[in-house]
Chains A and B, each alone.
Chain A
Amino acid sequence: MSGALQRTPLHALHLELGARMVPFAGYEMPVQYADGLKAEHLWTREHAGLFDVSHMGQLRARGDDLHVALERALPVDFAGWPAGLQKYSLLLNERGGIDDDLMVTRLEGGVAIVVNAACKENDVARMRLLCPGLEFSVLDHALIALQGPRAEEVLPEAADLKFMHARTMQLAGADCLVSRSGYTGEDGFEISVPAAHAVALARKLLAHPAVKLVGLGARDTLRLEAALLLYGQDMDSGTTPGEAGLAWAIARSRRAGGAKAGGFPGSALVDRARKRFLGLLGLEPVPVRSGAPLVDASGASVGRVTSGTVSPTLGKPVMLAYVDSGVSDRTHLNAVVRNQPHAVKIVPLPFIPKRYKR
């Protein structure tokens, strides 16, 4: 990443409200505010956290035969998919690897796609290549996430939405696209708001006593507890959906034997699995972080941690990891930290239950 860092429409508000800013995916982003990561994390689990995620790429696809064309790029099936429904999908490469993970919402007369900040340009270039008849535009809207069990109380205008549904509504005097989804494992919303209205909307939401600003630091620990994968860390262009435990993100009809099987990049290789994704709980207090090697009882390397922290909710080290296909749930595993092995055990994911309003 070169050149000056970009700023989101909420940049000045972050500084005013005590954010510590860090470079992230080419943007200057708030990693935490005065309360600190742990307090922000726990606040989101109990009340409602407000996150600036405007660095994410917000795309719109339009054009003739939109849905047929998009099905050439993404393993989705628009048949029976009503406007207002959002789905999680993957942009795959010819090797069946994941080039990005994204949220796709069918709108009246278009499709909205939210992609990872660092993948934005590559995604647009690839989709233009795969769907030459379509028009892809990148919106300069802000994206604000409101997450937590009290989100509905803060935004009663959107209470009618069910999980993974979206609708345009007037908020702070602007037309906003609001979806009931997020990246914390909690109930909540993501609000796409025109840049000029973003500060007014954020201030309106922050005026509610249940709402506090939450930085990217807590966003990372919240998503890790909910076992939501981070692109570029828990999966990348060399990871297949089968390996990442994301085969469910491929529409059934697009899978082998389905009515509209194949026809998207890498379709023959999506189930290829040379390694296995799983969750680990540390049995010792030492935090185990991304990159830590995993070894078996004999000290032989059997995998690697891709995300790890001390769970603020559980007070214990939690990890997302890949292990060799030969590792079973009974294999005794150690994570290596500063050349010392520390016992970990395989546990079911997520680490804390998701609390979506379905």
Chain B
Amino acid sequence: MDVPEKLKYTASHEWIADHGDGTVSVGITAVAADQLGELVYVELPEPGARFRQGDACAVVESTKAASDVYAPLSGEVIASNGALPDAPGQVNVSPYSDGWLFKLKLANPEELAALLDAAAYRASAGAH
């Protein structure tokens, strides 16, 4: 399963791309997308919404199941992926690029240090 080295991860299957300017992009990993199956619905947070690390902030749903997405870091939503409501399957096709969910402006950038790296996520998810 694809787990890019350049990203950070959570044990709850979110990936985080650190843009280095106090903002990050967030999505769900290929492992999570594969487990859920083809997505049929996404519910994304509105720009301006504020979350603390660990808050449920988005929902991704396949035919089979609904799954919460948790804010991997504290911050304010500055963008969400407007293409997904009409094409949620994009998350399965390219979970790490066109399938991004939302962008955050970080409230506590020091939280970044505690995220998992690719190797730790692979071990946590049992992915090879």
| A interface residues (Cβ-Cβ under 8 A, vs B) | 31-32, 36-38, 41, 217, 221, 285-287, 289, 309-310, 312, 338
Contact = CB atoms under 8 A, between A and B. Distances in A.
Interface residues of B, number: 12
Interface in B54-75: 59, 61-64, 66
A221 B59 contact: no
Given A221-B63, A287-B61, A289-B66, A36 B38 contact: yes
Given A285-B85, A286-B43, A310 B63 contact: yes
B39 to A, nearest CB: 10
Contacts of A312: 63
Contacts of B85: 285
B38 A286 contact: no
B128 to A, nearest CB: 15
Interface string B34-50: 00011011010000000
Given A285-B41, A287-B41, A37 B66 contact: no
Contacts, number: 38
B22 to A, nearest CB: 30
Given A285-B85, A338-B59, A217 B64 contact: yes
B62 A37 contact: yes
A338 B67 CA distance: 12
The 3 closest A-B pairs by CB, nearest first: A310-B40, A36-B37, A287-B61
A287 B63 CA distance: 8
A37 B43 contact: no
Contacts of A310: 40-41, 61, 63
A37 B64 contact: yes
A31 B62 CA distance: 14
A286 B43 CA distance: 9
A310 to B, nearest CB: 4
Nearest to A309: B63
B38 to A, nearest CB: 5
Nearest to A312: B63
